[in-house]
Amino acid sequence: MTDQHNIGLRVLVADDHAMILDMLEMYLASVPDIDVTTVADLHAALAAIDADGPFDLVLVDLDMPGMNGVEGLERALKHNGGKPVGILTSNPGRAVVEEAMALGGAGIVLKTASLKNFANEMRFMAGGGRYLPIELVEQQATVSEAPVSALSKRENEVLALLAEGKPNRAIGADLSLAEPTVKMHVKSICKKLGVSNRTQAVIAAQERKLI
């Protein structure tokens, strides 16, 4: 790592795709005021923060091992001592964006976006700004107006119990369903609502007045 006396921002990027990390490292090698450390999962990110942090900015991949949705963002925020933590992802659903920002996330960086503005985005977030790319803002507006695929009667029953915080086994017991069947319904609910986990499903359903 570069001598900390000669650098500007210390940034930690955590992503389980080696190609993404290599690409970011190559790009940032030509940016003199940003010193980047890369790791491959949330556990390694938290260890790096505890050993060398807090960092001026931490970016965590939403889908890498250990994240469990935005729960990993919350853990990284706690470890980084109040300094900014943002999310790296490709195509986040509306509920993910809102949940991440509500937790105090510094922003969302799209892996699919051009790298030409990446350094400025990092400086903005490290300086206390909250970054959301314009395409995500526009997508959020579109998604909010898009019709939701109708949930079946059984899916609505499962969703109502999800909202009570019940695990799959308890939901199965309440509805006389096998646990794998409950898992299938939860997966279908998430797909129809355009989210990636049960917490986001409940948030999205509440936003759309489904529960």
State the Cα–Cα distance between residues 144 and 157, nearest whole angstrom.
23
The per-residue pLDDT for 1 is 41
Average pLDDT per 10 consecutive residues for the chain, totaling 211 residues: 59 92 89 93 96 94 89 94 92 82 90 85 93 74 55 90 91 91 91 83 79 78
CATH topology assigned to domain 153-207: Arc Repressor Mutant, subunit A (1.10.10)
Distances (CA, A) of 55 to 127, 162, 183, 203: 12, 36, 38, 31
Q: What is the pTM of this model?
A: 0.65
The residues spanned by each domain of the chain are 4-143, 153-207
The per-residue pLDDT for 197 is 84
Is the distance from CB of 60 to CB of 42 less than 8 angstroms?
A: yes
Looking at domain 4-143, its CATH architecture is 3-Layer(aba) Sandwich (3.40)
The per-residue pLDDT for 169 is 93
